[in-house]
Copies of this chain bind each other. A is one copy, B any other.
């Protein structure tokens, strides 16, 4: 049976992980695991605590590894042991995937070098530091690497991966089961379509977060093996 491992860590973004989890869990013939560094409960940045089902050891076997983003990526990017485990599992996986700022963790784990990748719009330029080719898109595929945009891109990404693994009809059935016919109340999900005042508001409220993230990326790049 194929298996998918979703990596959880303190202060991960809840929806980054739970949206793909819900899609993957609806797939036929698949074993879905939420994995963390020590297998213990993990608190999402929004406060909810979840219970992973496995420990992410370097010899963990899975067909797909998936890394969400969130405030906690800064700590993970500085955790050499965790990054080596992720790199080890990713190297043996058929598909290496992320949503949102999970791409920065893949970058720090050396998985983006020379590859086209995307991440949350607010942190997109940081991909270059890891040797990636920053590419805006809801889902960006480069070989066996799938990266998604910010948070909610996880639904689109997971359905696209399902279509890849199980064919169109199964992916369509899951989309229908989740009644995924989105109708956003506003046309402002990306800066390109958003009023300047709203962009400014988000940039202002994430200024400190971004400053710390840039430092974490710098530290991660400095610690990467050549």
Interface, chain A (partner B; CB < 8 A): 13-15, 18-19, 21-22, 25-26, 32, 34, 41, 46-51, 53, 100, 120-121, 138-139, 149-153, 155-156, 159-160, 163, 168-169, 171-173, 175-186, 188-191, 193-195, 197-199, 201-202, 205-206
Contacts and interface: CB of A to CB of B under 8 A. Distances in A.
Contacts of A152: 155, 178-182
A148 to B, nearest CB: 9
Given A138-B183, A198-B172, A19 B19 contact: yes
Contacts of A41: 51
Nearest to A41: B51
Report how many copies the assembly holds. 2
User: Which interface residue of A13, A184, A195 has the most chain B CB atoms within 10 A?
Assistant: A184
A161 to B, nearest CB: 10
A189 B180 contact: yes
Contacts of A168: 186
A19 B160 CA distance: 19
Contacts of A100: 179
Q: A14, A18, A139, A193 — which one has the most chain B CB atoms within 10 A of its CB?
A: A18
Contacts of A151: 22, 177-180
20 contacts: A14-B22, A15-B22, A18-B18, A25-B46, A34-B48, A49-B51, A149-B181, A150-B179, A152-B155, A152-B178, A155-B182, A156-B182, A159-B185, A159-B186, A173-B201, A175-B186, A175-B188, A176-B190, A176-B191, A181-B193
Contacts of A53: 47
A45 to B, nearest CB: 8
Contacts of A155: 152, 182, 184
Contacts of A48: 18, 21, 34, 50-51
A185 B202 contact: no
Contact of A179 (B26, B121, B195, B197): B121
A100 B179 CA distance: 9
A120 B182 contact: no
B184 A189 contact: no
